[in-house]
Amino acid sequence: MKNMKRILAVVLALTFVFCFAACAKTANGAETPTAAPAGDLSFKFTAVDLDGNKTDFDVPFTDGQTVGEALLSEELIAGEDGDYGLYVKTVNGITLDYETDGAYWSFYIGEEPASTGVDGEKAVADGVYQFVATKG
């Protein structure tokens, strides 16, 4: 029963993210960041807690790494591998558990909900990523 609840929570969270991604509009003239040549690579990362407090980070990464790999490497996120990839439960030391408190972490690319999981999104130099605490 516990595993069914966990699977349901993951499916619900992913459905929520995909719905927002499908309804999101792209800003006119917005450019998608591209991979940078070899050298010092980093991206901007923001963690937004349930109270709306933001904490910003510059996250180093190596060419070919996903955003998830880079954030795990810097110990900024933690979670569990599931059927749909990494289910992030902890961001910047704050753990949310949908089963107990109805809150979860939503992954954003820029200001838009991501249509990919954090472990499926290739990191790009000067990219902007967020995890936003969401309740409901």
pLDDT score at 115 = 94
Structural domain contains residue 80? yes
Residue 33 lies in a domain: no
- Number of folded domains in the chain? 1
pLDDT value at position 42?
A: 97
| Domain assignment present for 32 | no
Token duo for residue 113: 């909900």
Task: Locate 11 and state its tokens.
Answer: 């499916």
Is residue 116 a part of any domain in this protein?
yes
Q: How high is the pLDDT of residue 136?
A: 83
Q: How confident is the prediction for the chain on average, in pLDDT?
A: 81
What is the Cα Rg of the chain in Å? 15
* Phi/psi-derived region of residue 111, left when phi > 0, alpha when psi is between -120 and 50, beta in every other case: alpha
* Secondary structure (3-state) at 136: coil
Q: Is the pLDDT of residue 107 over 70?
A: yes
User: Domain range for residue 92?
Assistant: 2-25+39-135
Mean pLDDT is lowest, of 44-48, 70-74, 80-84, 116-120, for 80-84
Strands 103-109 and 112-113, bridge-based pairing: antiparallel
- CATH number reported for the structural domain that contains residue 59 in this entry: 2.170.130.30
Strand partners, 103: 135
Confidence check: pLDDT of 14 > 50: no
In a domain, 34, yes or no: no
